[in-house]
Copies of this chain bind each other. A is one copy, B any other.
Amino acid sequence: MRVATSVSETRTFVKSARSNAKGVGLVPTMGAFHQGHLALMRRATSEQDVVVVSLFVNPTQFAPGEDYRGYPRNFEADARLAESEGVDLIFAPPPEEMYGEVDLTSVRVSKLTEPLCGTHREGHFDGVTTVCAKLFNIVQPDYAYFGEKDYQQLQVIRQMVADLKMPLSIVPVATVREEDGLALSSRNRYLNDEQRAAAPTLYRALQKGAQAVRQGASAIAAEGAVRTELDTQPLLVPQYVSALDPVTLTPPAADGPPMLLAAAAHLGKARLIDNILVEEV
């Protein structure tokens, strides 16, 4: 496995690798790898001849007051894990390689970025779309892999790729969970034992909501079912609970599936998000 920290090194590597190979896959990450990241890498290496993992804690996607400085960073451990998954290149640029001294351009997706996390994390999605546009232009992958845990991010990126006619396909990968249902997240390591024990309530609450949706519940009734379960766990402080149309991320026109159930909650110093997509039968 190679490690590159510059745009030009990365381009040279991909160009030479591509000439002998059919598909180039990109897994964009902020590091602090867990099994969710490894599932993305595994999917990518199983499908593509060349796999690049980008590892960049992107300052512009943290809202003011968020955990940019404290975000977990462990390059050595991450590099070992990526290598063991058969990744060909880690692109780990310093911030100044991604953002010029004068950097004036942003990529913005409207509407889809307004509900859910968009309401609570100022500038977050503009930071995500702008950095992903840069990464896609640097690596020029044929496929890029994103986890379904960040459902809104996945939809926003898909929309950007479609609208801007970017020459790649987005591959969604299922959320990886602990045995008790907690979705894996680099931020789970902020939890102490008591908080960790409380954390699975978030997914359990979404499951209650999903059950209601499958039984024909309205969006408001489904949200109520989620909230009722969340309220059983006083350590979890809900930020939002939303039942939305999975494509437009607006309130659904009809009761029952398809419906996206998504929630965010603070738990100690962690902010956890999770979702369930209840598809039509």
Q: A104 → chain B, closest Cβ, in Å?
A: 5
Q: A25 → chain B, closest Cβ, in Å?
A: 18
Task: Tell me which of B100, B107, B167 contacts A162 (CB under 8 A).
Answer: B100
Q: Which stretch (A109-117, A144-152, A183-191, A255-263) binds chain B? A: A109-117
Q: A43 → chain B, closest Cβ, in Å?
A: 24
CA distance A134 to B133 in the complex (A): 12
- By the criterion CB–CB under 8 Å, are B100 and A164 in contact? no
Return the CB mask of A93-108 against B: 1 if under 8 Å, else 0: 0000000101111111
A215 at the interface (CB under 8 A from B): no
- By the criterion CB–CB under 8 Å, are A104 and B100 in contact? no
Residues in B with CB closer than 8 Å to A7 are: 165
Task: Tell me which of B105, B138, B165 contacts A160 (CB under 8 A).
Answer: B105
Q: A98 → chain B, closest Cβ, in Å?
A: 8
Q: By CB atoms of chain B within 10 A, which of A105, A109, A111, A166 has the most?
A: A105
Residues in B with CB closer than 8 Å to A111 are: 104
Q: A246 → chain B, closest Cβ, in Å?
A: 14
Residues in B with CB closer than 8 Å to A163 are: 100, 103-105, 134
Q: How large is the interface on A (under 10, 10 to 19, 20 to 34, 35 or more residues)?
A: 20 to 34
| A134 nearest in chain B by CB position | B165
CA distance A228 to B7 in the complex (A): 49
Q: A36 → chain B, closest Cβ, in Å?
A: 26
- By the criterion CB–CB under 8 Å, are A164 and B105 in contact? yes
A46 at the interface (CB under 8 A from B): no
A140 at the interface (CB under 8 A from B): yes
Task: Tell me which of B102, B140, B164 contacts A134 (CB under 8 A).
Answer: B164
New A-B pairs, 15, CB < 8 Å, besides A106-B110, A107-B108: A11-B167, A102-B159, A104-B111, A104-B159, A104-B163, A105-B108, A105-B159, A105-B160, A106-B107, A107-B133, A130-B164, A134-B163, A137-B164, A137-B165, A138-B165
Interface residues of A (CB under 8 A from B): 7, 11, 100, 102-112, 129-130, 133-134, 137-138, 140, 159-160, 162-167
